[in-house]
Amino acid sequence: MSLGPEASITDESTAPTADAAERPGEKAIAGRSLKQIAWRRLKKDKVAIAGACVVIFLILVAVLAPLLIKWFGHPFDEPHIDQLDPTLSTPLGKLGGISREFLLGVEPQSGRDIFSRIIYGAQTTLSVAFLSAFVSTILGTVFGLMAGFLGGWVDSVISRIMDFLLAFPQLLFAIALLSVLPDTFFGLGDRWSRVFVLVGVIGFFGWPYIGRIVRGQTLSLREREFVEASRSLGARSGRILFRELLPNLAAPILVYTTLIIPTNILTEAALSFLGVGIPPPNPSWGGMLSDAVTFYQIDPMYMIIPGGVIFITVLAFNLFGDGLRDALDPKAR
């Protein structure tokens, strides 16, 4: 093929010749990576995109919480007794006191602004969920890769540890641990100290789920001929791990990370519900549900709002994660 020097440099823009792409739909595009193909497929999945929008919206809300509270709400621990019925201590007005002033109503008994508490709680909940997912992913990837790639006794030891952790009653352990730990340390304040502990506990008990998947994938990838080819070129183990194996593991790792985030949200809510999560008066969605239990007959909105928010959040993450898995699954191509 005779080509001028400038033609061989601009390889992205030149049209591929007939011997290039057999599939007619892809003829016009030069060098589409699997990432680009996945993105195209994800864009077509309306449900996943809706989930992603909700997730992004929630993240924005959590980041902008102080501003939103200033504009649309009241400080989260400020009581508004004037909004409550003086004899029953229930909110005045319909639907738990929803009004222009109090967008999601007020709490019975204390009269705190539910809107502020929900978005302030979003901050804690999402921090715990994301950070613990991050911890699980890092631990799971490192140990899963080690087990799958090194094999032998390393694999046996790591696999047994994973089995042990999966069989461990993690909720009971978390309750026991959180009730004996001091309320504050490292000068973080009681809210972030507890977030730190929750991240540690949830993240630590979550890694075997990712670890198993990474181990299994590594075991099958290790036998592929491109790994042998790399070895026959004289590549070191580090190069094989990070250049050959890890890029092929990125898709499952990403998918399972997005799928453990909703689980983590639920675990955090459960722990807060049981009274060992974020300490009051700091709001958290699980803690609000727990407080609402006493009032659900006289003020159902107090329970419906945090419950609904947890439901929507978990659903959005799950839909997005499922869509991502479909988009990245090379077998469905």
Partner 1 sequence: MSENLLEVSGLQKHFPITKGLFKRQVGAVRAVDGIDLEVRAGETLGLVGESGCGKSTAGRLFTRILEPTGGKVVFEGNDISHKNVNQLRPLRRDVQMIFQDPYSSLNPRHTVGAIISAPLQIQDIPTPQGLKKAVQELLELVGLNPEHYNRYPHEFSGGQRQRIGIARALALRPKLIVADEPVSALDVSIQAQVVNLLDDLQREFDLTYVFIAHDLSVVRHISDRVAVMYLGKVVEIAERDDLYKNPRHPYTVALMSAVPVPDPARRDRAQRDRVLLTGDVPSPINPPSGCRFRTRCWKAQDICATEEPPLTVRLEDPQSHLTACHFPVVDDETVAGRRPAATPA
In the complex, the residues that contact partner 1 under the rule CB under 8 A are 1, 3, 7-8, 11-12, 14, 16-17, 19-22, 26, 30-34, 224-226, 228-236, 239, 243-244, 247-248, 250, 330
330 in Cβ contact with 260 (< 8 Å):
no
Alpha helix positions (H), the chain:
5-9, 34-44, 46-63, 65-72, 114-150, 152-167, 170-180, 189-222, 225-232, 237-239, 246-273, 285-292, 301-328
Q: Which is nearer to partner 1, 100 or 236 (CB)?
A: 236
Helices then strands, counting H and E runs in the chain, come out as 13, 0
Task: Enumerate residues 6+ apart whose C-beta is below 8 A from 323.
Answer: 42, 45, 47, 48, 49, 51, 52
Say how many C-beta atoms besides its own lie within 10 A of residue 185's C-beta. 12
Q: Is 187 left (phi over 0), alpha (psi -120 to 50) or beta?
A: left
Measured between alpha carbons, how far is 102 from 84 in angstroms, rounded to an integer?
12
How near is the Cβ of 249 to partner 1 at its closest, in Å? Answer: 10
Q: Which is nearer to partner 1, 32 or 94 (CB)?
A: 32
Q: Which is nearer to partner 1, 8 or 294 (CB)?
A: 8
Q: Which is nearer to partner 1, 23 or 100 (CB)?
A: 23
292 in Cβ contact with 303 (< 8 Å):
yes
How near is the Cβ of 16 to partner 1 at its closest, in Å? Answer: 7
Q: Which is nearer to partner 1, 40 or 243 (CB)?
A: 243
How near is the Cβ of 29 to partner 1 at its closest, in Å? Answer: 9
Phi, psi of 198 (to 5 degrees): -60, -40
How near is the Cβ of 139 to partner 1 at its closest, in Å? Answer: 23
How near is the Cβ of 329 to partner 1 at its closest, in Å? Answer: 13
Query: Measured over all CA atoms, what is the biggest interatomic distance in the chain, rounded to whole angstroms?
Result: 92
Burial of 293 (0-12, 13-18, 19+ CB in 10 A): exposed
Measured between alpha carbons, how far is 89 from 208 in angstroms, rounded to an integer?
47
Residue 106, classed as helix, strand or coil, is strand
Crossing angle of helices 285-292 and 246-273, in 10° steps, is: 30
How near is the Cβ of 156 to partner 1 at its closest, in Å? Answer: 8
Structure tokens at 95: 């639907």
How near is the Cβ of 230 to partner 1 at its closest, in Å? Answer: 7
How near is the Cβ of 49 to partner 1 at its closest, in Å? Answer: 25
Q: Which is nearer to partner 1, 233 or 332 (CB)?
A: 233
Q: Which is nearer to partner 1, 26 or 163 (CB)?
A: 26
299 in Cβ contact with 102 (< 8 Å):
no
How near is the Cβ of 255 to partner 1 at its closest, in Å? Answer: 16
Q: Which is nearer to partner 1, 175 or 246 (CB)?
A: 246
Q: Which is nearer to partner 1, 87 or 232 (CB)?
A: 232
Structure tokens at 220: 């099958």
